[in-house]
Structure 1
Amino acid sequence: MPVSDPSESPTETTVDPAVPPADTGGDAGTGRAADPGSPADVEPAAGSGTVFIPSPEVEAVVARWNPQGLALLRALHGSGAATVVTVIGPADVNTTLLRTELARFEPRITLSEPMADPSAAVATTSPSDRGQPSVGALSGLALILLDAGTTIGADLLEAIGRLRADGTRILLAMNGIHAYRDWRAVRARNLELLAARGAADLDIVPVSARLAAAARTAGDAGLLDRSGLGSLHAQLTAAAAGAAAATGDRSAAVTGRVLADTRQRVVEQVGALRSGAELARLREERAVLLAGRDGGRATAMSTLRGQLHLARVDLMTDIGARIRALHTAARAELDRLRRADLRGYPDRLQQTVTELTGGVDRTIDHRLAELGGRIEGAERGMPSRRRDPAPRVGPDPEPRHRGVEDHLMIALGASAGVGLGRLLVAPLSLVPALDVASVPVTLALGGGAAAWVVRARGQLADRAHIRQWVSDALVNVKAQLEQRVATALVETETVLADLVVQASTARMVDTDRRVVELEAKLRRMAAEQPGQLAACERDIRILDRSISPVETNDQLGTQ
């Protein structure tokens, strides 16, 4: 069966089940069926009683339903034969499968064993060779198989040039296109290399034997067309013109097979029209579109709110952890500071808060970027977030005021100092002359002890005062950072909600347009179905009248 070039769209080589082809044969202009009493639709070729050429009416039907079949008939009637072709390519599984699938086409073309060495192939395919002729040398026709994943090498280009110089006819086929998505670019590059070598007239036929095998198993004519095997077979048949004489029964068999295949395609179209499968599919598609008519707005808005809530929880938790870590570090640092260094600690805390705010801003930006990446259109509609200054830790702590505790510490310190002094000078009181002299020493020791106790107590009180101020300041900083997060999320929600509405509105408009198109198509198909069935039945009658003479003459030729 003929197939189309896989580089073409399937709609260019197969019949659209929704729109049956117009009848161009018989009385096509008036829309009437051909007269049953008209002459035979298949005429014998001149000089042969068994080679049949379709009439213009049959040719028009075949052209509408089976364009590659018509190309095969024209190539067959132009050449009248198939011949032996020398295959130049790798001896792998793909080549074996290609030879097997080509052997299923009529007229059968014998392919030689693949020759992987292009230089050796030149000696066996060139008609000018004076050595032992091979099967390929009888026809001077070579089929060169190219890899769909790589470009032509220099050795193969040189071999092609030598074959053309010796008069060998060459056909190029790119096998295995099913395995490479960029085979079209490789084919274009190969054509450029051939044109640079002066072989611009050569074409490369993209084929896939695996697709042909799958189409044969599934009975899918469209997939068989896309495999390219029919197109390659038709070109091989046409290239073998004049190589050998074809027998009449083989020509009649090929013609009958093409007509039968065309009739089968029309019958399948009639079955599809009567089953209403296409109408049911369109109605189902319309129902699906109507079910999602809101453009996914409700789902998108629900997802957006959930993601915003999750982002708020995560960011608030992160801020709380950062503030607690800063408070712990500040308390540890205060315990190590001297009393003179406590005065400059507020500035150091402000610097630390500024650095912490920068880290929080980066976390917010990263989380909002992740959130925007899930919304359609956010990559081009997200405005830059406004950056506020870092929170202030508040006014510096007020000086600590001396109270009753400080005076009490002075009294306790003096008392302890006097007692310590008396204890130290107690041995001197045993000497009457030194008893009076021990009094100043006792007072001096008491005064010194009192001063030390008061100073130590003041340092502890200052640290406690600064520690309390740090706690109050960090509470204020935390509140400002949480407000920063809430503001950023509200602004982002406003922008993203607007983008969701815009995207869903665009989808709603597109859905409405598609629903209108489907409804119009349904009405048109319902109105055109009787005419389509009538046209298909008329083509079947034309093909039936054409198949009968072919089968009759085929039987006469075999007797």
Structure 2
Amino acid sequence: MTTQQLSDLPAETVDVVTRWNPDGVARLKSGEAPQRGVFVAGPRRAGKTTLAGGLRALDASALTFVEDPIDARVVLMVLDAAAPLGREELSVLDVVARPAVPVVFALSKTDVHRNWAGVSERNRALLARHAARFADAEIHPVAAGGSGVEALLSALLRAARAQAPDPRSATLTVLEQTRRMIVATARSVRETEPGAELRAERVRALTLRDGRRTERVAQLRGQVQLAKVELMHEVAAQCRAAGTTARAEIDRAGRGTLAGYPDRLAEMVREKSGAVDAAVTARLDDLRSRAGVTVSAPETAVPLPEPVVPDGPEPRHRGLEDRMTILIGASAGLGLGRLVVSPLSMVPALDIATIPLTLALGAVAAWWLTRARGHVAERAHVRQWATEALVHVRSRWEQFVLGRLLAAEAQVSEAIIAESRVCARDVDERVAQIDVELRRLVARRNGQLSSCERDLGAVDRGLQEVRLQLGEPNRRVERLNT
């Protein structure tokens, strides 16, 4: 069949072949015969690979082996000498042996099976019964050592030279090659899932749609509780430090220092408040950093209150102990005075003078003892007041710390929720884009498959016409994959 005869086929067939197989059409136009070779067929474990290797080793340039029976000029059917051919061998032969292609038979493993001659005669009879074209078929025995390979090579070369090139066969080959291209492309399109990476990206995006809001909020709560423990410990440490300093200063304080000690305690509380505020600020900054959010104006949530120390202690109430101290002091003073002036009583002239001197010394001793007892009591009074004042200050510090923590937790939670909304919006937009792209890919894939089906139908109609002209049966090409 010439190029003009190719144009006699349906126009859609010619168009499909031109699009899919331009090289084949160019060969037909130039009159060049298609490159063909030997296709080796046979049942499994019949020794096909070993026999083909032996033929190549004998003369590598004499034959060209092909992988597809469509491209075969000669078919080499390898039979096993272990037993006569059966249904499997005949089915393979039906697939590969087209009427226009000669078949050369070889019987392998004759060096292993002694009854190979009987098996060969049985095979010849079965082949003649199977098809009239195989009635006079010659079966060439070959052995693993190379025996019979030269005769087989000569038979293959004779069969190849005896086959005259037929233009119609060339056109049939081009059509079958085109069909094979279309089937392979359709299979590749069908097996390839379009948009696999996009689907994986869509799954990942939906998994993180909320920006891990639940995990971040849970981590934030844990961090807040940890910060609460640390800051409460810091408050307790500052209160203990202030109490220790206050007790030491009060124990050494004189009357004037005790009178102004409320101002000193207020100054100390302001210093400790600064340390507490610095610790809270540093811990909350670390909390925000761990949460990975940025909070605008974080210090405006809970302003730092001015540390207020309660007013100075109430005047100490002078009770029974003070009166008893006066009596005890007077008694002790009189006894001390008598002891001091006892030497003077030995002089009669000074005996009268010892009385006022004794009274004076007793009064001084009573006054000093009473004043010392009052000073000690005043220290205890101020110490008690300082302890109560620090309890009040600690309560204010704890209130301040808890307020700052709650405000920071609320602000960070709002920031996390805001970021989650933005992330969800971005993910929704990206998922919508992915869905559009996936629909486009699916539509494109369906269009490609539909186009392949239409082109395949056009090529099949052309194959049917050419096979009718060649006298070949209208075989299903899918069987060539057997």
TM-score, scaled to structure 1: 0.46
Aligned pairs for 1:380-419 (under 5 A) are 380=296, 382=298, 384-419=300-335
Q: Which residue of 2 aligns with 1:349?
A: 265
Change (3 A) 1:487 1:283: same
Alignment match, 2:3: none
The residue aligned with 1:33 is 20
**2: distance between equivalents of 1:354 and 1:422?**
54
How far has the Cα of 1:414 moved from its partner?
0.8
Residues 302, 407 of structure 2: 8 Å contact kept: no
* Aligned twin of 2:443: 527
Is 1:300–2:251 an aligned residue pair? Answer: no
Deviation at 1:337, TM superposition (A): 1.4
Larger radius of gyration: 2
The equivalent residue for 2:225 is 309
What amino acid sits opposite 2:374 in the alignment? G
- Rate the CA distance shift 1:404–1:516 in 2: closer, same or farther, 3 A: same
8 Å contact kept, 1:373–1:379: no
Measured after TM superposition, the shift of residue 395 of structure 1 is 1.3
After superposition, residues 3-42 of structure 1 pair within 5 angstroms as 32-33=19-20, 38-39=25-26
What do residues 99-130 of structure 1 show as CA deviations (whole Å, max 9, x unaligned)? xxxxxxxxxxxxxxxxxxxxxxxxxxxxxxxx
2:206 match: 290
Give the 3 Å change call, closer, same or farther, for CA 325–369 of structure 1 in structure 2.
same
Aligned positions, number? 290
Matched, 1:443 2:430: no
Give me the whole-angstrom Cα distance separating, in 1, the residues matched to 2:376 and 2:214: 61
**Structure 2 residue aligned with 1:486:** 402
**Match for residue 499 of structure 1?**
415
Task: Name the SS for the 1:524 alignment partner.
Answer: helix
Offset, 1:425? 2.5
SS of the residue corresponding to residue 391 of structure 1 reads coil
Letter in 2 for 1:493: E
State the 1:328 CA deviation.
Answer: 0.3
Contact 1:357-1:481 within 8 A present in 2 as well? yes
For 1:39, the aligned partner's letter is A
Partner of 1:420: 336
Shift in CA distance, 408/271, structure 1 to aligned 2, threshold 3 Å? farther
Contact 2:277 2:304 in 1 (8 A): no
CA gap of 1:472–1:380, structure 2 versus 1, over 3 A, is closer
Deviation at 1:485, TM superposition (A): 1.1
Which amino acid is 2:351 matched to?
D
- Supply the distance in 2 between the matched residues of 1:275 and 1:385 (Cα, whole angstroms): 61
TM-superposed deviation, 1:481: 1.0
Letter in 2 for 1:306: G
* % same residue: 44
- CA distance in structure 1 between the aligned counterparts of 2:286 and 2:212, rounded to whole angstroms: 20
- Is the 1:381–1:499 Cα contact (8 Å) retained in structure 2? no
Match of 2:180 in 1: none
Find the counterpart in structure 2 of residue 360 from structure 1: 276
Q: How does 1:46-65 map to 2 (within 5 A)?
A: none
Corresponding residue SS for 1:378: coil
Please list the CA deviations of residues 433-473 of structure 1 after superposition, one character each: whole Å capped at 9, or x if unmatched.
43333222221211111011001011111111111111111
Q: Secondary structure of 2:211's match?
A: coil
Structure 1 position 401, deviation (Å): 2.2
Kindly indicate whether the alpha-carbon contact (under 8 Å) linking 1:286 and 1:518 is maintained by their aligned counterparts in 2: yes
- How far apart are the structure 1 equivalents of 2:317 and 2:448? 104
Q: Is the 8 A contact 1:297 1:501 kept in 2?
A: yes
Tell me the residue number matched to 1:475: 391
Quick one: distance in 2 between partners of 1:474 and 1:525? 74
Q: Distance in 2 between matches of 1:337 and 1:440?
A: 36
Query: Is residue 337 from structure 1 mapped to residue 253 from structure 2 by the alignment?
Result: yes
In structure 1, distance between residues paired with 2:310 and 2:225? 30
Matches within 5 A, 1:83-102: none
Q: Determine the C-alpha separation between the residues in 2 that align with 1:506 and 1:31.
A: 54
1:180 is matched with none
Q: Is the 8 A contact 1:286 1:515 kept in 2?
A: yes
Unmatched segments (≥5 aa) in structure 1: 1-25, 44-267, 539-559
Q: Contact (CA 8 Å) 1:27, 1:34: kept in 2 or not?
A: no
Q: Equivalent residue of 1:393, what SS?
A: coil
Contact 2:302/2:403 (<8 A) preserved: no
* 1:374 maps to 2:361: no
Asked if structure 2 preserves the Cα contact closer than 8 Å seen for 1:376 and 1:499, the reply is no
- Compared with structure 1, are the counterparts of its residues 480 and 444 closer, same or farther at alpha carbon in structure 2 (3 Å cutoff)? same
What is the distance in 1 between the residues matched to 2:449 and 2:365?
120
Q: What CA RMSD, in Å, does the superposition of the two structures yield over aligned residues? A: 3.6
Which whole-Å CA distance do the structure 1 matches of 2:256 and 2:451 have between them?
106
Contact 1:428 1:438 in 2 (8 A): yes
Letter in 2 for 1:346: P
SS at match of 1:374: helix
Structure 2: distance between partners of 1:273 and 1:381: 58
> Can you list the C-alpha shifts for 1:506-551, whole angstroms capped at 9, x where unaligned?
112222233333333333333323555799999xxxxxxxxxxxxx
Partner of 2:113: none
- The 1:381–1:432 alpha-carbon spacing in structure 2 relative to 1, beyond 3 Å, is closer
Distance in 1 of aligned mates of 2:18 and 2:221? 63
For 1:319-362, what per-residue CA distance to the aligned partner results, in whole angstroms no more than 9, with x for missing partners? 11001101100111111211122111111211221122122222
User: Which residue, out of 398, 406, 429, partners 1:513?
Assistant: 429
- CA distance in 2 between counterparts of 1:272 and 1:485 reads 67
Q: In structure 2, list runs of 5 or more residues that go unmatched.
A: 1-13, 31-183, 456-482
Q: After alignment, is 479-488 or 380-389 more displaced? A: 380-389
Alignment-mate amino acid for residue 294 of structure 1: D
User: For the residues of structure 1 that align with 2:334 and 2:425, how far apart are their CA atoms?
Assistant: 97
Aligned to 1:429: 345
Q: In the superposition, relative to structure 1, how do residues 494 and 442 fare at CA in structure 2: closer, same or farther (>3 Å)?
A: same
Q: SS where residue 387 of structure 1 aligns? A: coil
Letter in 2 for 1:33: W
**CA distance, structure 1, for counterparts of residue 302 and residue 18 of structure 2:** 73
Matches within 5 A, 1:229-244: none
